[in-house]
A and B are shown apart, each in its own frame.
Chain A
Amino acid sequence: MKKCYINGLGNISAQNTFETDFLEDATVNNSDNVLYAKQPSYKELIPPAASRRMAKGVKMGIAASTKALAEANVTIPDAIITGTGMGCVEDSEKFLKGILDNKEQFLTPTSFIQSTHNTVGAQIALGLQCKGNNFTYVNGAVSLETALLDAKIQVETEEENTILVGGIDETAQHTLDLFKLVSFIKKEEDAPYSVLNSTSKGVVFSEGTTFFTIENTKKESSYASIEAMKIHNSLSVNEVGDFISNFLEDNNCEVNSIDAVVFGNNGDVQYDSYYDVSNSLFKNTAQVYYKHLSGEYNTASGFGLWCAAKIIKNQVIPSILKMNSVEPSKLETILIYNQYQGRDHSLILIKKC
């Protein structure tokens, strides 16, 4: 069986991750409860006429995927697999608003056409003329992880050799308003917000996209290999320790061979206890967090995997990501754990290659 390598990355997020290497000008915004993506200029990537019709998620996806492919020196991948928790909410809202406000009359198809969850993957395929298999997963916080797991199996078994994988989530106003209504998003009065030691409900919401060129050959551009992955629908807080221990055991890995662990803490006081393994199992392990930079969205874990891959490649944990003061002796094996609202737990184990 072949191995699974991350050979290229592209990331657009609330930080300027598209034009910098690794969070050089990252800043923590603790006053806004919604962080919008810092979008690059699309002029060179998408013809302006097409760009005007595209929602933010599609444009971000095209830009980030272009970068991920270029880094790995790939022109056309064998397959494209995307993940999105909420899908194309901008066009969905636009079309639904049209239906409701105009009593099902005077509608045009454009936003309906672009509202399907696989729009980003389809538009990338159309642009690249990529006729390979093209999947989209839509399952909350494991949307991207399912895409990665699928890609990992396919390259390991040589069903395909090069797969473009990406997670995309965009914000849209009505959905944000609804999430505020039910306190999925933190209240204004709870500012300033913090991800660690938070006492308030909900999260600082955001959007972004991370693309990965996944291949079964090691290249000069390789960041790391994905050794193992696991996704699980729901756990209670006290099951997390066993969930992680069993995963490590299944993959012949000891806790003390993990050089750093990346946690998905998002500052929601109701659910961050899922990461309490930071005080037990991983007490003596270097810990990384990132959602104070990326904000929370269903595919934010892509930002976390991007950080882990960059840490291995650059052999440094930027201080802005450090969750504790443990200094690792080496940076070769990293574990990433994420969940959202107690559902959609995922573990990814990556190694220096």
Chain B
Amino acid sequence: MAKRIAITGMGIISSIGKTVEENYNALIHQKTGISIIENIETIHKDVIKVGEIKLTNHELEQLLNLPKDNNYSRTAMLGAYAVQKAVEDASISNINEFKTGLISATSVGGMDMTEKFYYEYFEDEACQKYISAHDAGDATHKMAEYIGLKGIVTTVSTACSSAANAIMIGSRLIQSGQLDRVIVGGTDALAKFTINGFKTLMILSDTYNTPFDNERKGLNLGEAAAFLVLESEEVVKKQNKKVLAYVSGYGNANDAFHQTASSENGDGAYLAMQKALKMSSLSTNDIDYINAHGTATPNNDLSEGRAIVRVFENQVPEFSSTKPYTGHTLAAAAAIEAVYSVLALQNNVIFPNLNFKNQMDEFNITPQTTLKEKEINHVLSNSFGFGGNCSTVIFSKN
């Protein structure tokens, strides 16, 4: 990669914690955030499990100190919280000191409010404030306002690879000199819309998700937000700043196979990993850990596993999916897992793939199921979404 992109701050809120430390502790102590849904009334309550953040909207409003008449969707609140934490972590006191941007990613946007008030809007004027909070960009604008950012503010939405793509466009904007610094990540709240959507696709597990297990039954949905502060090396030097890790390569490719299913041999995933490796000038044996997409759906894990084998051949490094901890947090997933990838680099540790029991029939690779300490210099993180959207980002220590 021509110019390295430094990561100087991280903020996260997920079902396993609302700080980076809480998330790390849950990961190393193998504590799952998967539970029974509490904040949404749904008939599927007893047959699904979710990675839900156990804070009500009211509690989130208080946490953010929002005025009573605010019209933040849950997606916007989670995002604002994580963005603020990332900015604090990067020790930024004046957000507009350098050319700074914000690129968020979301799939549901303000859908959580829209589905609540869809018909009520016509009866009750009080809820009409949420009409303008529906579109995906609104949440991002609110996050920018919350931290006082003025500049390039935009949003990516490519389903479950969205946040990886936000990292890519953010890096590209720094490399091209459009920005000195950019906050990138994603946010998605649980919604009836997505719960029912994945339910109709019959890929929701009725128990804890088991990535790369031969008997896997599908995914658990989750909600989360995570953001990273990316800075150009020049700006880092100027401020004499501590760097947590670097974005050293990325790639996006389209599977061009089916709107929701992945191709059998994972063509898109294969291409995305190859592109990222090429950009990073790393070879496959430089990769110390793969944070897999690993949703635990029959289709994803087979397709991704095959693509990994195609790329790494008989030298597949340790890999695991962290979805058993957080659930699949859709557009936020790649940002959550970017934070976990950086934690793996910082702590030289591989997070275990929970709930794995049975080796898959189709190949002989097995996820890492215990906490493993090992020198880690490069982590490859995969994220794949509807529309054949396949993304890989590589994070490096130096």
Q: Which residue from chain B places its CB closest to the CB of A159 in the assembled complex?
A: B172
A108 to chain B: which residues have CB within 8 Å? 200
Task: Produce 1/0 per residue, B123-135, CB < 8 A to A.
Answer: 0000010011001
- Bound-complex Cα distance A157 to B279 (A): 14
Determine whether the beta carbon of B200 is less than 8 Å from that of A107. yes
Question: Is residue B144 within 8 Å, beta carbon to beta carbon, of the partner chain?
Answer: yes
- Bound-complex Cα distance A105 to B47 (A): 14
Within 8 A of B (CB), among A308-350: 343-344
B175 to chain A: which residues have CB within 8 Å? 157
Q: Which residue from chain B places its CB closest to the CB of A152 in the assembled complex?
A: B176
Q: Which among B152, B251, B252 is the interface contact of A231 at CB below 8 angstroms?
A: B152
Task: Produce 1/0 per residue, A95-133, CB < 8 A to B.
Answer: 111011001110111001111111101110110111111
- Bound-complex Cα distance A312 to B149 (A): 36
Determine whether the beta carbon of B201 is less than 8 Å from that of A139. no
Binds B, one of A37-45, A63-71, A176-184, A211-219: A176-184
- Bound-complex Cα distance A153 to B174 (A): 11
Contact (A231, B154) CB under 8 Å given A116-B107, A132-B253, A139-B140: yes
In the assembled complex, the CB of A121 is this many whole angstroms from the nearest CB of chain B, namely 7
Contact (A139, B136) CB under 8 Å given A109-B201, A117-B158, A134-B389: yes
The residue in B119, B251, B256, B389 that gathers the most chain A C-beta atoms within 10 A of its C-beta is B256
Determine whether the beta carbon of B141 is less than 8 Å from that of A234. yes
Binds B, one of A23-31, A140-148, A254-262: A140-148
Determine whether the beta carbon of B267 is less than 8 Å from that of A140. no
A283 to chain B: which residues have CB within 8 Å? none
A179 to chain B: which residues have CB within 8 Å? 131
Binds A, one of B191-199, B341-349, B352-360: B191-199
Question: Is residue B153 within 8 Å, beta carbon to beta carbon, of the partner chain?
Answer: yes
Contact (A133, B254) CB under 8 Å given A99-B192, A150-B172, A179-B131: yes
Question: Is residue B218 within 8 Å, beta carbon to beta carbon, of the partner chain?
Answer: no
Determine whether the beta carbon of B131 is less than 8 Å from that of A131. no
Would you call the interface of chain A mostly helix, strand, loop, or mixed? mixed
Determine whether the beta carbon of B132 is less than 8 Å from that of A233. no
In the assembled complex, the CB of B117 is this many whole angstroms from the nearest CB of chain A, namely 9
Contact (A178, B131) CB under 8 Å given A113-B259, A118-B387, A122-B386: yes
A100 to chain B: which residues have CB within 8 Å? 115, 118-119
A157 to chain B: which residues have CB within 8 Å? 175-176
In the assembled complex, the CB of A247 is this many whole angstroms from the nearest CB of chain B, namely 12
In the assembled complex, the CB of B161 is this many whole angstroms from the nearest CB of chain A, namely 9
Q: Which among B102, B121, B197, B259 is the interface contact of A181 at CB below 8 angstroms?
A: B121
B158 to chain A: which residues have CB within 8 Å? 117-118, 121, 134-136
Question: Is residue B363 within 8 Å, beta carbon to beta carbon, of the partner chain?
Answer: no
Determine whether the beta carbon of B386 is less than 8 Å from that of A118. yes
Question: Is residue B62 within 8 Å, beta carbon to beta carbon, of the partner chain?
Answer: no
- Bound-complex Cα distance A143 to B137 (A): 9
A233 to chain B: which residues have CB within 8 Å? 102, 141, 144, 149-153
Q: Which residue from chain B places its CB closest to the CB of A343 in the assembled complex?
A: B141
Within 8 A of B (CB), among A148-181: 149-150, 153-154, 156-157, 159, 174, 177-179, 181
A150 to chain B: which residues have CB within 8 Å? 169, 172
Question: Is residue A86 within 8 Å, beta carbon to beta carbon, of the partner chain?
Answer: yes
Contact (A134, B387) CB under 8 Å given A109-B201, A118-B158: yes
A-side residues, CB < 8 A to B, are 80, 85-87, 92, 95-97, 99-100, 103-105, 107-109, 112-119, 121-123, 125-126, 128-140, 142-143, 146, 149-150, 153-154, 156-157, 159, 174, 177-179, 181-182, 184, 231-234, 298, 343-344
- Can you identify 12 A-B contacts, CB atoms within 8 angstroms? A80-B254, A85-B135, A95-B193, A99-B115, A99-B196, A118-B387, A131-B256, A136-B158, A138-B156, A153-B173, A177-B122, A233-B144
7 additional contacts (CB under 8 A) given A135-B158, A138-B136:
A100-B118, A117-B136, A131-B254, A133-B253, A182-B132, A233-B149, A234-B141
